[in-house]
Structure 1
Amino acid sequence: MTLVRLRRRGRSRSGPAPRTAGFLPVLALLGLVLAAPAQARADTAFSAKVDFGTAATAPVSGYALDYGQPFGARTGAGQGSGLSYGWVGLTNSTPLDLTGNGRDRGTAEPDRLLATFVHMQLPASSAGVKTPGRWEMAVPDGTYTVTVAVGDATSVDSTHALQIENQNAVDGFVPTSASRYRTATVQAAVADGRLTISPVGGSNTKIAYVTVAPLADAAAHPEVRTVTPANTATGAAPTGSVVADLRLVGPGVDTASLTSGTVTLQESVTGAAVPAHVITSGGGDVINLSPTTALKANTRYRFTVTSGARDLDGRAFTPWTSVFTTGAGGGTGGIAFDKVATSATGKSFASVLKGPDGRLYASTLDGYIMRYAIAADGTLSGAETISTVRADATARGLPGAPNRSVIGMAFDPSSTAAAPVLWITSNTMYAGGTPNEPDWSSSIARLSGPGLTTYTEVISHLPRSVKDHETNSLAFGPDGALYVTQGANNAMGAADPTWGNRPEHLLNAAVLRLDPAKLPASGAVDVRTESPGTYDPFAADAPLTLYATGVRNAYDLVWHTNGHLYTPTNGSAAGGNTPATPTPLPAACSRRIDAATAGAYSGPTVPGITSNPVAETDYVFDVKKNRYYGHPNPARCEWVLAGGNPTSDTTPFEVTGYPVGTRPDRNLDAAGMYDAGLHASADGVVEYRGDAFGGALKGTLLVVRYSSGQDIEVFGVDAQGRLSAPTTGITGFTGFQQPLDITEDTTKGTLYVTEQGASKITLLRPRVTSAAGSAGH
């Protein structure tokens, strides 16, 4: 069969996040830097009140009058002093004249503010302007408490909806004779100089009044920047998650504050609560709500973050509300897996793989290796705890000992059941809280002996971020070398406060290649590339070298049977900084990874971006030797984030914070970049090799999404190694709790998934159907 093909999205949220243009160039210490638009962090004293009615309406005392004039400076009687407001198109900023759409129901209405209004969406049967419009007011950038009212004293012929900026205020309010009005208040952040109120989602919406007041101490509170699915989005995947991008003040989100009472999802019409898991990312820079079961198809939902959510310094979040509607979902051609509980529980499981002895091995985030016997039905038993890594950390007095995070595991090709050799990566453990993990504290080691009790460090002093970017996974290639994913030290290539202002080093954000034949007979190779270290990965005898660069934070990697190396990679949340090209160019520009084919880098000059307001998507890279994959690193003379912004048209993986004309890096392998989904946290990956379902999954890539979706997505792989758009929603591949890694027992076609949020390993068995016969093993 053919897998269902869904979208392949270029960077048209990271796409879902709103576009932002008009960045102003400013001088910076290291060259030209583009300052992002104000991020609504500064407090403001601006306030206003507007009463909507007819040209003849006398506004209520203290209110300015709006009767449908196009946006502009208001100078008429009763329209205040120095204010600019009015109407624009529903989908553009062209001023729109809705004069004649105002109504005044007279003094019969007790509240004079509610007796007058303007039609934002006039029905065809009414007199006035039929073109729907949005209302805008010029305001200083900042966060405001905005109160609005909708309704009509004499008619109930509306379905009222109001969106304020990118939040929802009123959603589908259908008035009755007993309840004619609806008043709502939101805290809205303005970053483009205009407060915008839209009737999208409504029918014949009638706005009666609006008040705008500064939110006290707004700059001292974290807040939601935008969400995915975006406010008013339609066709959202029923098996997806809701992920909020944040503007942070402190170091990150306090996970303990994310509860069913502080972050909620409800059916918009009925108010029924949706059971869900609420988490943040490893970096603490998003809020993720993942329903425990699939959402209803074609149903409206309301997402809310309350002030009960807090950052690690105890600051309350500014409240947020948005709405979206699910789509119909889709079929998966009969592919289905059954989830089976195993005895592997109670540990912070990270990575998992099957050993040469036929047993399942699982590493943990605090340094254990667990080993289990695999029964004929795939279930696990006979748990053994291997504490070699922790014992070594204690013996050597390593930071945080005995805890160490073991992410990468790969058995040496020479391993046997009697003589296993397990290569691992070992990192200081980040347990959350205020981040401050030591740099240069990661390593690669071998565990050997029947019980894997002998610890031999082979590479020491790899780079380490303050949080969860570290030395991640390992995979042996067809050439016998060991390939390693090394995380970045920051968000978007330049130091930033969320990531402890730690810069990138020469080996950061890359796929590294370790040649075991070049290792010394004894002792670890110190690979610090900066003082006091002197390691040079470009040296002819260097055992650890750069294979590919710009790979921001790849958790896992897999060599496919087609000879391609694939690695899912986490893009950055919004708010990161990109580096600016300095003048003169640094010495690193003569030793770029592509220097042998393209020569020394001589330009162009690339501007930096401060606090990029748009998040990156996540990726799957088809990694080629000596190519670049979009994460800048000044230590390697790599300056351009993702696809740059080469033209005024939408281009794949573009970064709209750059001025138009900013070309991608000359070495960018755009053809090898695939979209894994915004905020996916695309982590574990495996090539499925089983014959279940008539071979329908054979050769596909199964990618675990830790965050958005908390599921497994499937990428088809064609004869040239190119990937299809991912398929999601396969039965058995959804509803996990922070899944991190995946492996296959190829003798059975079964899968094992580590669920960090549930501290367990889950078995997935191919479901045997009448159509599949015995294909499910």
Structure 2
Amino acid sequence: MLKKTLTWIINFAIASALVIVATASPVSAQETTAGTDGDNGTGSVSEPGKIRIDLRGAGHVQSISGLSVNPASFDVGLLIMGESASKQVTLSHTGGPEAEPIMINEATLIGANPDEFSTSFGGFTTLQPGDTVNVVVTLNPTYPGKKSAALRLTIEGATNPYSLFASGEARYPLTSDLTTPSNPLNLGQVALGGTIVKQLTLENEGQAGAPYINVSDIILGGDNPAAFDMQFSPMTLAPGETKQVNIGFGSNAEGTKTATVEVVHDGNNQNVELMLEGQVVNPNGVPTNFTTKTLAGVTLDKPTSLQFGPDGKLYVAEGDGLIKVLNVTRAGNGNYSGSVAQTISSVKNVKNHDDDGDVNNSLNTRLITGLLVTGTAAAPVIWVASSDPRQGGGGGTPNGGGSQQPNDKNLDTNSGILHKLTKNGGGWLKQDVVRGLPRSEENHVPNGLLMKDGKILLVTGGHTNEGAPSFRFVKIPEYALSAAVLEIDVNAIGGGTYDLPTLDDEDRPGVNDANDPFGGNDGKNQAKLVAGGPVQIYSTGYRNAYDIAMTPNGMLYTVDNGSNSDWGSPPSGCSNNYIAFGGSNFPDNLHLVTKGSYGGHPNPTRGSKNNKFNGSNPQSPIEVSANPEECTFKAPGQDGALTTIGGSTNGLTAYRASNFSGAMYGDLVTAGFGGKKILRINLSTDGTTVLSKDTLVANLPEAPLDVWAQGDGEVFPGTIWSVTYYDDIVTILEPSDY
């Protein structure tokens, strides 16, 4: 057997010195020893009472050449209790033909957990040059934790054995239990005949790597199951995931209602059972009181719209095109303060044009009157409606006094744009989604918007007082896309910009007019209503609806501003003939908005294709069927409105909180600009009838323009927020049962 000898000299001058202690009689302090400074000449050093002797020698370590172990160590990984894992290791003699054989004697498992490892190899094997032998080591854990052991091989002729190291880990199987945090689940109070919606939270409590849980059914039982509506479809929960199931609660009978719930699932635990309870009360006995507070710490400039986003921040649009993102905190009853987290200027910086399409570089603002925040807390998305910041119109008198020249600001009547702002790190990316929307010479512009079924519904103001071009509206007619609720398929548009196709303007050379789609040119270059395009008509007949709202049951509503005397008349026949003055004062009116519905304000351009533009090349902007119903003026109260409201009424929102025993849930809340008040409109259960109108608060600062209400589960639930345009503040209505 090949042997290798390693020799070294070991100097034990200090640590390995042999110390002999004299015990017979101590050496006196005067005794001396041979050598210098205590050195006796041999390298040993003596001290009083001790003799130190250096030892020197040679040692021999025998190791084996040619033994290969592959792998030299291994880890079988994580095992579930009850499982086992094996690893094959190859022992090889890699020496040349003349090399001596390697004799492996005993093979023994040692280390921290030798009893949990086993091996097929018992040792006592001789390897000739070129020979191999396979050794299998198995971990079969008997309790959880980290495991380690070594297979020690005793080699004939070797000073030390060879050790093959093995490791692993074991744990009990992961399980997933389905839980719900509340049992019983109290849904609170609901008004008699009304409905509220609360959430049942389900959670998969398994840790990462545990099984998914499939929830297949939810079964209602108990005393009053008919009072509860489980809005459920089968779902799957990943480990650690929570999901919510909506529960509708309501009854036509007063009193406490209870029901049992069984959640059927395939998790580790049994089906989850819990109790539902709630109380149905007479709404006449439930007062709806609010206190009015002002948001402190924030400076605004002519705010026009507001909404809380999914991130809990308050988004406020200003009249010059800025959007301010506010952090809001509540430090007790009615004590609200805010700070500006971000100011977004990308909409304000959009270029403006004159009505002939030329760029107007003297303008450096945009008018924002519509704001919608969607997305998620991590990725909010802002949708904005903006237009030319100028306002013309007005002036003149029917009897000929005063200025008889229309107040024409040459503003761009095609200046409306739908923008999309997407959060990008600390900033926002702006996309102009649709350009060329109509905007009147007065202040009737693209206004409120919401998302329904993945599409944007956008309200566009009218260009006339009662349908006919008039002096105070600077003589322009209704356009193909004015005075309507538009339906915009933003998914079809995608990440680009849809420039609305326009008429061929006779005042600009070429078919494709310069700077299209901008510059409406009093209708000669207006956007067309084309078949199959991403911008379509959803509902028509709205003179100047400022906002649109959707209640929890999915129904849509808008409040339209009524006409004014001497600002213009209904159309003559179905024409766009100019009628200088005329018209009547009519109240604002609340409409239930459905697809294809007509709210009573005429648009002869859509009513008849005989209304053409560009005398040298007459064209109708309507490329779909005309709608003759839009030739007829219907006075508020006779136009299908659910109710009328005195004074300018603009912002509109749905109350989605269960405060006051749910008495206001699903009602509408609107901002009374002229009356400096916030109104509640109490709707019937089916949403088709107004049961009552009440003033929630009055004598607000000048003047509430937009309004937003927070729902259950949102920050500051049950509160109502309003921007006051002239006094530049945010007003908060806090419910008495907050």
The higher relative CO (CA closer than 8 Å, separation ≥ 6) is in 1
Q: Which has the larger radius of gyration?
A: 2
TM-score if structure 2 supplies the norm length?
A: 0.49
